[in-house]
Amino acid sequence: MKAYKVLGTTDDVTTCELCGKQELKGTVALMPLDADGNEDGEACYFGVSCAAKAAGWTLKEVRVGIKAAKEEALAEERARRIEEREAEKRAYNAWVAETYGSGATLKDAVQKHGVAGLWAQFRAAQAAPVVDEEPAEAAPFRETVLRVADEERTVRTELGDRVRTVKQLEAAHTKAVKAALVEMRRANLPAFEAAAKSAEDEALKSRGAWWVQEAAKRARNIARRAERGTTFGCTSAWASALKPLPKIRYTEEVPAYLVEIEPDHYATPEAAEQLALI
């Protein structure tokens, strides 16, 4: 008789592999063992009575085996959780040492944030995808001075709970600068409108001078952007001319609208007509 070990029970398999009985409430998963007691092959799924028959057990022995398997699985799960917690604690200690150092600086951090606060920071730092980034300490803040007409404003973004890495700092700062610019420009709308109006008056007076016309367009665009609250892109009149040509795509198929003017040579109907005239 073959030796088996109970792996557990499952209601995923409801057909007994021994007698073929279907629609069972569940089956017992048995792992065949070799002569040395090592797992040998794949798990079989038997009904409770067939499991007893196959392994030469009493029904009671099957139930004892099922209970033991459940307890073993629970113990494994518990051990896994304990190991996970230990690993997290090690990672936390390493993170604290790296972030706050030790001794007095660490004591200050604990006093300021509390141990729960430090754990929360650690968990947040773990959750954020940090890929080979410069440590944030290298650049604790970003500062930009904005000038719109006569108004000057300093936008400063500092590291905080949600801003921890250089990348995050820069993204947050860019966002703040854009928002401040939009706000300042909108506040300055009457001045932009006046500038646009006077540039347009000027353009009407000197129709021949293209740069005056361009300046008027530019002034009007500035006013429009301030009104809409959009920031400006760096597009010049030459930008479109500098763009590369679109990629050429080759095809084997001759479009239906082309006319064959001689074997394997095609032209548009207009071109074909002109060629015929010549």
Residue with Cβ nearer Zn ion (18 or 212): 18
Least separation in angstroms between CB 44 and Zn ion: 11
Q: How many chain residues are in contact with Zn ion, going by CB under 5 A?
A: 6
Cβ proximity to Zn ion, 25 vs 147, nearer residue: 25
Least distance to Zn ion, CB of residue 16, Å? 3
Residues forming a β-bridge with 27: 10
Residue 47 touching Zn ion (CB under 5 A)? yes
3-state secondary structure of 30: strand
59 binds Zn ion (CB under 5 A): no
Q: State the Cα–Cα distance between residues 92 and 113, nearest whole angstrom.
A: 15
CB–CB of 143/185 below 8 Å? no
Decide if 45 contacts 17 (C-beta within 8 A): yes
Question: In the complex with Zn ion, which residue's Cβ is closer, 15 or 174?
Answer: 15
Q: Report the nearest approach of Zn ion to the CB of residue 28 (Å).
A: 10
Closest CB to Zn ion among residues 59, 79: 59
- Is 196 an interacting residue with respect to Zn ion (CB under 5 A)? no
Minimum distance from residue 129 beta carbon to Zn ion (Å): 51
Q: What track of x and - describes contact with Zn ion for positions 7 through 46 (by CB under 5 A)?
A: ---------x-xx-x-------------------------
Q: Can you spell out the DSSP letters for 179-241?
A: HHHHHHHHHTHHHHHHHHHHHHHHHHH-TT-HHHHHHHHHHHHHHHHHHHTPPPP---TTHHH
Shortest separation between residue 25's beta carbon and Zn ion, angstroms:
13
Partners of 4 in the β-ladder:
32
Q: Quick check: 62 binds Zn ion (CB under 5 A)?
A: no
Token duo for residue 95? 């993170």
Give the residues across from 266 on adjacent strands: 260
- What are residue 31's DSSP bridge partners? 5
Question: Least distance (Å) from Zn ion to the CB of residue 22?
Answer: 10
Structure tokens at 125: 């730092």
Check residue 212 for interaction with Zn ion (CB under 5 A): no
128 within 8 A of 156, measured Cβ to Cβ? no
Q: Which residues bind Zn ion (CB under 5 A)?
A: 16, 18-19, 21, 47, 50
